[in-house]
Structure 1
Amino acid sequence: MDRRDFLHVAALAPLAAAASRTGTLGVSAPPPNWARLRTQLAGTLVLPGDAGYNTARRLYNPAFDRIRPGGVAYCANAADVSACVTFARTSGVPVTARSGGHSYAGWSTGTGLVIDVSRMSTVTYDGPRSSGPSQGAAKLDPHAGGRATIGAGAKLIDVYDKLARHGVSIPAGSCPTVGIGGLTLGGGIGVVSRKYGLTCDTLESVRVVTADGRVLTCDAARNAGLYWACRGGGGGNFGVAVSFTFRTFEARDVTVFFLHWPWSKAGAVVKAWQSWGPSAPDELWSSLHLARSASGLDAAVVGTYVGGRAALDRLLAPLVAKAGRPSSRSARTVPYLEGMKVMGGCAAMTIDQCRRMPREAFSAKSHMAYGKLPADGIRTLVNRVERGGRHAVLLDAMGGAIGRVGPAATAFPHRAALFSVQYYEEGTDRGWLRSLHSDMSKYFGDHAYVNYIDPELQTWRNAYYGPNAARLAEVKSTYDPDRLFRLPQGI
């Protein structure tokens, strides 16, 4: 705890005492006055029975459509968020923050008040002027330090689109409808992370509404402990983030590529990729996909390369030599924004269509791999994917810039991981997931990614946060001593 955090604790002490008298947790608290909250907001409060309530309460995953919040507040600004936090604290209503609504466990909704920041989606850029177009992007001084300030409710496709107009970007994920808030707070593994780092690695400051209703600016000098926690400590734990300021990089053209092998080569592909992908040059990011779908079984490696096709072909050669010749292969060099659309599965769509990708019912689990799979682990993985159903396993390469940050420098602890592992199952039957996750824990151990949050994970504190868990608990006690912000797997 630094000196600023200590002073903040002292300032909170009288508030905490008053809160205990007035019933922060609902003890002797007055009935919630939803009508009064509505008058305090510049945004919109949607209550049961209001037009639009059924839409307002939905997340990306239809599996959670059964949850009915007491109210959904579409906040227009930080003052709205502060009013909602104060309402929740004084009335004893449970509160949940929502950015993009993609929580794997459905924890961006609840039965109380949902603070939805999706309308706080402005993206602004402050940086060097371009010197003219260059292959679809503005040409910038690579040594100049541009900054992007992004509202916590912005979706990734809008972040990519609006920053591309200035010829810059930030390292982020692939799904176009994910909110920048949740992605950043959990760390932010993305498709150029090996070159530019995690999303949280380029975060210079964040504005957060804390449990006392104040709007705090957090950076390396102000509220430094909370700033640290907001870079990998998970969304929903410490307050409601309302905006982020990031360093940007020049958005150069990228080469996107897809290689597919017959299923008989799946084991060889896994063996070759896990040695090749995490140790490739920083400019090369790749993901290994093993999938069973309606069209059959597929083993594929997809990725991005910050460079041209000829150089990529040379880098792919060692993978192909060890895995065998792919049955299909494609690669093309495109402007950065188009590359992000390709990775997001909406290459042929308009930005507006990317923003409205259809909802999907799914279940998921994860691991973080600190070592390579041995031969029996590869066989187990491939054999389990072969079994009936519609499911997939995605191995995303780490290393590069990710691994050059110390595990305690930010709250994200998995800097030494070789790759992340995502297990997806269509629908809500988690049987295949549970069985495969259990089998693979023998090889991957007790490590998981908080942004792929798993409601069934018993060892979640160590799996998500490792040695950083204790410091995160200190930050929690500093900024939310009465635990207004609660999750089933909350700090």
Structure 2
Amino acid sequence: MIWYDETAARREERFSIWDKRVEQDGTPQAIPQKYARELQSKIAGKVVLPGDPDYNTDRMVFNPRFSAYPQAIVYCVSPADVAECLNVSRALDLPVVVRSGGHSTAGFSSQSGFLIDVSELNDVGIYPESECAWVGPGTTFGKFNKHLQAYGYHTPGGACPTVCVGGYMQGGGYGFTARIFGMNCDQVEAVRVMLSDGRIVYADSEWNTDLYWAVRGGTGSNFGVLLAVKYKIYPLNSFAGFSICWSMAGAEGETQTANALAWLQANFMRTGAPDQLGYQMIWAYQGAEGTAKVPMLLMRGMYNGSTEDMRSVIQPVLDQPGAVLQTVYDPMPYEALNEALLSKPYEIPEFPKNFPFPPREAKLSRYLDQLLTADDWLKLVQYYVSTPNQTAIAAMEIYGGAIATPERTNAFIHRDVYCDIFFDVFWATEADKDQMLAFSQGWADTIAPYWGGRVYQNYPSPDNPDFGENYWGSYYPVLRFIKSKYDPLNLFRYPQSIAPTDRLDEDMGIYGLDKPIQHAHRS
């Protein structure tokens, strides 16, 4: 029998590529080959450097609007690989950013410096006897939901199946069932994190409690490399669903839509709607291919109960002028219902056949914490329908229910709000970019009088000088102190990372701030 080391063969192949490479003007700087070769020799994953055949593909994130040039990209397949990456980044004093799925709306999943890709840390373990799951940070929600469905369990996740656990959870994590169970970060019972010195720490409600508090809402690439998440899971997997719509077309449609939004905000968001109901609202142009599309207000939701009970719950909504019941879904598996709500009868958003995918995109998040009048909503509706590009959408992620837990439970501060409303514009070519960014800025100006100053940290914008206050409010000083404790070198940094500080004027009752880091392992 001939023994063949596939890893060694791949390593030698990469060394051969590096030996033959000729540095050219304009080629991004790579880490010194001495470090690259040593790193590739020690890990089971793959090192990608500027100039490699796959570099220009591997450096990209989901949104092609952003184009960063890391000095090294490393695909890690084990915690040992991550530790070796951190050794090199410390030696070279290179900032580290961690990428799980690459969906950062501001492009922060890739940057100049050292990029640790954890997409292959995607193991899933479901433990029905203790109603928990251990999940790797690179696990997509498409994969996670398949595992949960096989056992008949559920935990709140995102609408997009290609988004990964790592970044999503650390920024909060909203989805259709968040009103029913809470944000995704609220389901976390423990985490394992590798700190900048390469040591792994366990954090839960008893161990490293300040880190446990901060990771759940403090966003990724701040405190360390997330290696695993322990989730609480629920013994159900089927939900009833519905779709209601209003036409925004013409003056009557705009007025009916504005009146409906005012009624819903006052009676069916933060309060009024039962906690067993989760729903989102989307402003989108809809219509069959080849026909004139019509601006619509779409209300899509899930209900934890029977179809009959759900019909009773949504009847007051259907009583509003202009409301049309599009579809009712009998209870079905969560994943199938999630897909149906966002794709039937038309995809949201709808892109023409010649539109590149994934498209270039700019997303702008604004939390609403005050009641708007029908006239206020009308101003927003009229601005939206003036879009120069009918792929633009506005989406309302409705809060209340289980999201409105007592504050300070974790670093996700946005609890007492009506909704997050985000504006999403897309463009096919660079020639359209300025027009769509100007339209997005116009939306920001129009909604400004009603905005309370908070932004969902999972929807960052690249130009945001007040991000600390916008994302975390009064929690930001505490997060800065915890950042300094667990990442004293500030190795994990990017344009909107948490700035470390060794000063804390008020601990806000966050337990564990004065305790040393517990490095012992715990199962």
User: Do the structures match in fold with TM over 0.5?
Assistant: yes
The alignment status of 1:50 with 2:42, answered yes or no, reads: no
| Contact 2:247 2:294 survives alignment (8 Å) | no
2:37 alignment partner AA? A
| Contact 1:338 1:347 survives alignment (8 Å) | no
Shift of 1:345: 4.2
The alignment status of 1:276 with 2:268, answered yes or no, reads: yes
1:20-419 to structure 2, matched below 5 A, reads 33-64=35-66, 66-128=67-129, 145-263=130-248, 264=253, 265-274=256-265, 275-279=267-271, 280-292=273-285, 295-326=293-324, 328-343=326-341, 345=343, 359-387=358-386, 388-390=388-390, 391-403=392-404, 405-419=405-419
| Contact 1:61 1:102 survives alignment (8 Å) | yes
SS in 2 for 1:174: coil
| Contact 1:206 1:218 survives alignment (8 Å) | yes
| Contact 1:272 1:323 survives alignment (8 Å) | no
| Contact 2:94 2:491 survives alignment (8 Å) | no
1:121 alignment partner AA? N
1:304 alignment partner AA? M
Identify the match of residue 466 of structure 1 among 466, 473, 483.
Answer: 473
Identify the match of residue 452 of structure 2 among 422, 440, 445.
Answer: 445
Separation in 1, partners of 2:473, 2:41: 44
Structure 1 stretch displaced more, 79-88 or 269-278: 269-278
Unaligned runs of 5+ in 2: 1-30, 287-291, 348-355, 428-432, 499-523
| Contact 1:68 1:111 survives alignment (8 Å) | yes
SS in 2 for 1:322: coil
State the Cα deviation string for residues 321-372 of structure 1 (Å, max 9, x = none): 13433174443431223223334649999xxxxxxx9523211010111122
Separation in 2, partners of 1:52, 1:455: 26
Distance 1:344 1:35, change over 3 A: farther
1:38 alignment partner AA? Q
| Contact 1:238 1:485 survives alignment (8 Å) | yes
SS in 2 for 1:251: coil
Separation in 2, partners of 1:76, 1:372: 48
| Contact 1:127 1:146 survives alignment (8 Å) | yes
Identical pairs, percent: 30
SS in 2 for 1:45: strand
Distance 1:78 1:358, change over 3 A: farther
Separation in 2, partners of 1:276, 1:323: 16
CA-based RMSD: 2.2
Match in the other structure for 1:479: 486
TM-score by length of structure 1 reads: 0.85
SS in 1 for 2:269: helix
2:224 alignment partner AA? G
| Contact 1:238 1:476 survives alignment (8 Å) | yes
Distance 1:347 1:291, change over 3 A: closer
Separation in 2, partners of 1:242, 1:468: 24
Structure 1 stretch displaced more, 369-378 or 326-335: 326-335
Structure 1 stretch displaced more, 162-171 or 151-160: 162-171
Separation in 2, partners of 1:397, 1:413: 15
